[in-house]
Each structure stands twice: as structure tokens, then as C-alpha cells.
Amino acid sequence: MLKRLLPLFLFVILVIFLYVGLGRNPRELPSPLIDKPAPGFVLQDLFNPDLFIDASVDFKGKVALVNVWASWCVTCRREHPALMRLSKEGKTPIYGINYKDTRQEAKQYLAALGNPFAKVVFDPAGTAGLDWGVYATPETFIIDKEGIIRLKHVGNLTDEVLNSKVLPKLVELQNKS
């Protein structure tokens, strides 16, 4: 009897795994950093190599958006107008992590397209990106006033993503005491 039920039991388990796996959004990459402190770093400012930016100091005390980008990233170029609009609205400071890039090309990129960032750190080796769990550029994080990562978005920040995901989370966190 057990030998006859074993294939059925294995089939049911397989169906459950397939159902759960196929039901997930492939654009949503899980992050073990959600609801955990943002990884710290001390990196050079993109524009002034003599100035260092300390994430544990600069990101604390305010809700902030952190965008990981690169000049060679086609999708970053596509999302840049949305970052510029968000920056002009002044709803939150936007910090940039320039990932695996050259200083000259990153500066040229921002000179040509505009600079939406309050501060930009230069991460040529990608070490900070690795600490943040970056899979590919662009990736965007929202950090609360205590320096805790509350949202991660992988890919292009479209108007739809901003309106449905990013802005509601920013408002929610800014309204918390």
C-alpha cells in the first residue's frame, strides 16, 4: 500500500513546489537585507576624491533613496529622467552609488543627463554594491530614519513603479514618528 501511495505523494509535493515557484514575480529578487540595517561604507565622493562619505552618518536620521547606477548601464539611462523628476520634487534625498565605473565616465554621464543625487559615492571595485546585495544595475533601496532598508527595487524606476511602490513607501516612512 505504501509503495502505491509514494509516487502520488511525491507528485503532490512536486505540484506544490511548482505552484509556489511559478506564482512568484521573476522581477522581484528577494533581499536578505530588507528590515535590516543598511550596510555601512566609507567611500570617496565621485566629484571630490578628497572627500569621503560615510553611509552610517549620511543616511541616518532621514528617509532616503539610494540608487546604484553606472554610466555603462543602458537601463540606468532609461530610468534617469524619473530620478531627475523625483529629485526636483524634493520628496526625499537621493544618494547614488556609482558601481564598477570610471570616475570620468560617471561624471560625464551626470553632466550630460543632470545630477539628481544629493551625494554620489564612487565604488569602482563594486565592494559596497556587493555588501548591499546588488545583482545588477540599476537597483534602488529605500532606507528609513533609523538606517534600516525597507524596500529594494531591481531594474528601471518607471513612473508606474514610482507611483505604485516607491512613493507610497516614502510617504509611509516619512509619516512615521
Task: Tell me the DSSP string of 51-66.
Answer: -EEEHHHHTTTS-EEE
For the segment 32-88, what is each residue's pLDDT rounded down to a tens digit? 678 999 998 999 999 999 999 998 888 878 999 999 999 999 999 999 999 999 999
pLDDT of residue 33: 79
For the segment 113-125, what is each residue's pLDDT rounded down to a tens digit? 999 999 999 999 9
Cα distances (Å, whole numbers) of residue 14 to 8, 25, 81: 10, 19, 44
pLDDT of residue 79: 96
Predicted TM-score (pTM) above 0.85: no
Give the number of C-alpha atoms closer than 13 A to the C-alpha of residue 115, restricted to the C-beta side: 16
Q: How many helices (H) and strands (E) does the chain have?
A: 7, 7
Task: List the grid coordinates of 96.
Answer: 547614488
Contact at 8 Å (CB) between 87 and 117? yes
CATH number for the domain formed by residue range(s) 33-175: 3.40.30.10
C-alpha to C-alpha distance for 94 and 76, rounded to whole angstroms: 14
Cell 567611500, located at residue? 43
pLDDT of residue 136: 87
pLDDT of residue 126: 94
| Position 172 pLDDT exceeds 90 | yes
Cell 524606476, located at residue? 157
DSSP, res 126: -
Which amino acid is residue 138, in one-letter code?
P
pLDDT of residue 10: 67
pLDDT of residue 13: 74
**For residues 166 and 57, which has the higher predicted lDDT (pLDDT)?**
166
Contact at 8 Å (CB) between 65 and 157? no
